[in-house]
């Protein structure tokens, strides 16, 4: 291991003993940057890695709101403004009971490299709260979103920091937050992305992460294996925004998707998932994935979501959450002949799982590259807002496809340059970091 990288990782251990997810992300990134760091002594001299892993700003705040029955609730919330060297902070907001400082920091660090890979001028940020949207009424969701923005509004802005959605935050929540932001600031400048289409949202933003994941995977299959989605069997974890639109595009590209999940369990349908039904259950009724078998009696439901990786498939698309695919799952996937594992979720594979897939010559599409289509299209939403225009679905979708193909080519090129065409993880980390570190060096000490 490189001494400089080792020292920076050791310092993180001492400073942040409890931030497990953050240190996992930092270790994955820094270890793969070693060959680049060794070629660029100016990085150590200017303490670029030390600066790169320390967020520019970390805001932690209280959110107080009221239940329908008059009960008062108190939640913790965060916004990490990680790195603005190449543009305004940009990244989603996550509402989930597991949210803590470590998770928000890992997401912010990843976002910095992801946004750099899109080729658009966006820095990295992330935020969220330990608020659990499950079981809350529509009005409770609205009151929480309003209370959240009543604190956060002072820290964001179209040129400063532009939040969007993530787990538990979709168009509904973005709508309530944007409404409150507009009310407080008295301006309509599009400060959040993922907005409704009637008030500045971009067509194809809803589909973008899932579609982009498939564009990336399709290009990788074509380049590396001279294959495509066509006639391949696909397993997708999750059944939220990313999973649903990954499923839609994979089917359109000729694949058969046989399994999806939520945090309770997974469904397996050997005839191919009925996506219209999944949309009805999850998007319209906000129900549970097990309801699927009430309609499709041939399908099976299994409690517990991690077993989904035991299903034999050609392409696996983890689209639920961090660390959902461990070494044991990776071994089963490889044994079953998987050709590609591309990540729709952020850091869904554990470090050991990712390295195992790369070693076994599986096409491994790391999250920061493979799921960058969502934030890239958020960048396109910002462009449309600034120019007071709304582009057609086709225009946005074409730009998205071009961006995803470029991201793959860039990562693949660098992976090959550094000696292993299957190490797209190294490719992505170096490609993303090169631009950010140059921008930091050129802008002086800060
Ligand atoms: P959603 O809230 O729409 O869906 C999340 C899905 O993942 C649900 O099916 C949920 O199940 C499941 N899930 C969440 N937490 C867990 C858990 N702890 N264990 C098992 N399953 C879980 O979120 P998104 O689809 O937007 O996000 C999914 C992933 O994609 C996240 O990692 C996110 O960071 C990443 N991502 C999202 C982007 C976007 O544009 N939205 C862009 C890039 C990445 P349940 O309903 O039971 O909670
Ligand atoms: O992880 C991600 O890239 C997102 N949740 C989307 C961020 C955005 O600003 O659109």
Each residue of 203-217: pLDDT tens digit?
999 999 999 999 999
Picking from 322, 321, 355, the residue whose alpha carbon sits closest to that of residue 23 is 322
Distance 164 CA to ligand 2 centre (A): 6
All domains of the chain in start order, with CATH = 1-53 (no CATH), 55-188 (3.40.50.10860), 206-370 (3.40.50.720)
Closest ligand to the CA of 163: 2
Residue nearest to atom 10 of ligand 2 (CA): 375
Other beta carbons within 10 angstroms of residue 69's beta carbon come to 6
pLDDT at 325 over 90: yes
Distance 93 CA to ligand 2 centre (A): 8
Band of pLDDT at residue 1, cut at 50, 70 and 90: confident
- Give first-to-last CA distance, the chain, whole Å: 28
Closest ligand to the CA of 289: 1
Mean pLDDT over residues 60-83, rounded? 98
How many residues does this entry show for the chain?
446
Rounded CA-CA distance 158/178 in Å is 12
Distance 226 CA to ligand 2 centre (A): 30
Distance 238 CA to ligand 1 centre (A): 6
Q: Mutate which of 209, 344, 377, 404 to test ligand 2's pocket (most atoms within 8 Å of Cβ)?
A: 209
What CA–CA distances, in Å, run from 360 to 323, 338, 364, 409, 421?
A: 19, 10, 10, 21, 12
pTM above 0.85, yes or no: yes
Whether 371 contacts 346, CB under 8 Å: yes
Mean pLDDT over residues 305-334, rounded? 98
- Whether 126 is catalytic: yes
User: What whole-number percentage of the chain has pLDDT above 70?
Assistant: 100
Q: Is 346 in the pocket of ligand 2 (CB under 6 A)?
A: yes
Q: Is 380 in the pocket of ligand 2 (CB under 6 A)?
A: no
Distance 260 CA to ligand 1 centre (A): 12
Mean pLDDT of the chain: 98
Closest ligand to the CA of 135: 1
Each residue of 181-196: pLDDT tens digit?
999 999 999 999 999 9
Question: From the candidates 23, 105, 114, 126, which is the catalytic residue?
Answer: 126
pLDDT at 220: 98
Identify the residues whose C-beta falls under 6 Å from ligand 1: 165-168, 170, 209, 238-243, 262-264, 305, 319-321, 324, 344-346, 371, 374
Closest ligand to the CA of 161: 2
Mean pLDDT over residues 164-183, rounded? 98
Residue nearest to atom 39 of ligand 1 (CA): 166
Q: Mutate which of 126, 194, 238, 246 to test ligand 1's pocket (most atoms within 8 Å of Cβ)?
A: 238
Distance 112 CA to ligand 2 centre (A): 11
pLDDT at 15: 98
Q: Which string of b and e fits 72-94 if b means at least 16 CB within 10 Å? A: eeebebbbbbbbbbbbbbbbbbb
Q: Is 374 in the pocket of ligand 2 (CB under 6 A)?
A: yes
For residue 371, the ligand 2 atom closest to its alpha carbon is 3
Residue nearest to atom 9 of ligand 2 (CA): 91
Residue nearest to atom 28 of ligand 1 (CA): 320
Mapping DSSP onto H, E and C, the string for the chain reads CCHHHHHHHHHHHHHCCCCHHHHHHHHHHHHHHHHHHHHCHHHHHCCHHHHHCCCCEEEEEEEEEECCCCCEEEEEEEEEEEECCCCCEEEEEEECCCCCHHHHHHHHHHHHHHHHHCCCCCEEEEEEECCCCCCCCHHHHHHHHHHHHHHHHHHCECCCEEEECECCECHHHHHHHHHHHHHHHCCCCCCCCCCCHHHCCCCCHHHHHHHHHHHHHHHHHHHHHCCCCCCCEEEEECCCHHHHHHHHHHHHCCCEEEEEECCCEEEECCCCCCHHHHHHHHHHCCCCHHHHHHHCCCCEEEECCHHHHHCCCCEEEECCCCCCECHHHHHHHHHCCCCEEECCCCCCECHHHHHHHHHCCCEEECHHHHCCHHHHHHHHHHHHHHCCCCCCHHHHHHHHHHHHHHHHHHHHHHHHHCCCCCCHHHHHHHHHHHHHHHHHHHCCCC
pLDDT at 219 over 90: yes
Distance 309 CA to ligand 1 centre (A): 17
Q: Could you give the strand order of the β-sheet that contains 57-66, starting from the edge strand earlier in sequence?
A: 57-66, 72-83, 123-129, 89-95, 161-164
Each residue of 261-296: pLDDT tens digit?
999 999 999 999 999 999 999 999 999 999 999 999
């Amino acid at each position: 291991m490189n001494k400089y990288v080792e020292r920076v990782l050791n310092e993180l251990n001492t400073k942040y003993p409890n931030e497990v997810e953050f240190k996992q992300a930092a270790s994955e990134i820094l270890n793969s940057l070693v060959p680049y760091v060794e070629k660029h002594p100016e990085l150590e001299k200017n303490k670029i890695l030390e600066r790169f892993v320390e967020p520019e700003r970390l805001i932690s705040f209280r959110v107080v709101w009221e239940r329908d029955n008059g009960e008062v609730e108190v939640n913790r919330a965060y916004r990490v403004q990680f790195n603005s060297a190449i543009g305004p902070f940009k990244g989603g907001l996550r509402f989930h009971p597991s949210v803590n400082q470590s998770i928000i920091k890992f997401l912010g660090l990843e976002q910095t490299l992801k946004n750099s890979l899109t080729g658009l001028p966006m820095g990295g940020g992330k935020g969220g709260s330990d608020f659990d949207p499950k079981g809350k009424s529509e009005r409770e969701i609205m009151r929480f979103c309003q209370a959240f923005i009543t604190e956060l509004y002072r820290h964001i802005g179209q040129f400063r920091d532009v939040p969007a959605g993530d787990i538990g935050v979709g168009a509904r929540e973005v709508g309530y937050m944007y409404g409150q932001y507009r009310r407080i600031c008295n301006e309509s400048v599009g400060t959040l992305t993922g907005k409704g289409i009637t008030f500045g949202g971009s067509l194809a933003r809803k589909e973008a992460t899932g579609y982009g994941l498939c564009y990336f995977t399709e290009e990788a299959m074509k380049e590396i294996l001279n294959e495509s989605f066509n006639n391949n069997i696909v397993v997708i974890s999750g059944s939220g925004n990313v999973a649903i639109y990954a499923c839609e595009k994979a089917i359109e590209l000729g694949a058969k998707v046989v399994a999806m999940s939520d945090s309770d369990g997974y469904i397996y349908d050997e005839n191919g998932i009925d996506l219209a039904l999944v949309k009805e259950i999850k998007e319209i009724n906000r129900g549970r994935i097990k309801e699927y078998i009430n309609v499709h009696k041939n399908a099976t439901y299994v409690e517990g979501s991690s077993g989904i990786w035991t299903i034999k498939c050609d392409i696996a698309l983890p689209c639920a959450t961090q660390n959902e695919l461990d070494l044991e799952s990776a071994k089963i996937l490889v044994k079953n002949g998987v050709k590609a594992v591309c990540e729709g979720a952020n850091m869904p594979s554990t470090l050991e799982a990712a390295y195992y897939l790369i070693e076994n010559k599986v096409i491994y599409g790391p999250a920061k590259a493979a799921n960058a289509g969502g934030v890239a299209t958020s960048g396109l939403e910002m462009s449309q807002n600034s120019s007071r225009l709304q582009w057609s679905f086709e225009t946005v979708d074409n730009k998205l496809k071009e961006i995803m193909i470029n991201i793959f080519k860039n990562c693949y090129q660098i992976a090959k340059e550094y000696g292993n065409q299957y190490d797209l993880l190294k490719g992505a980390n170096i490609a993303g970091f090169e631009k950010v570190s140059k921008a930091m060096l050129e802008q002086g000490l800060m």
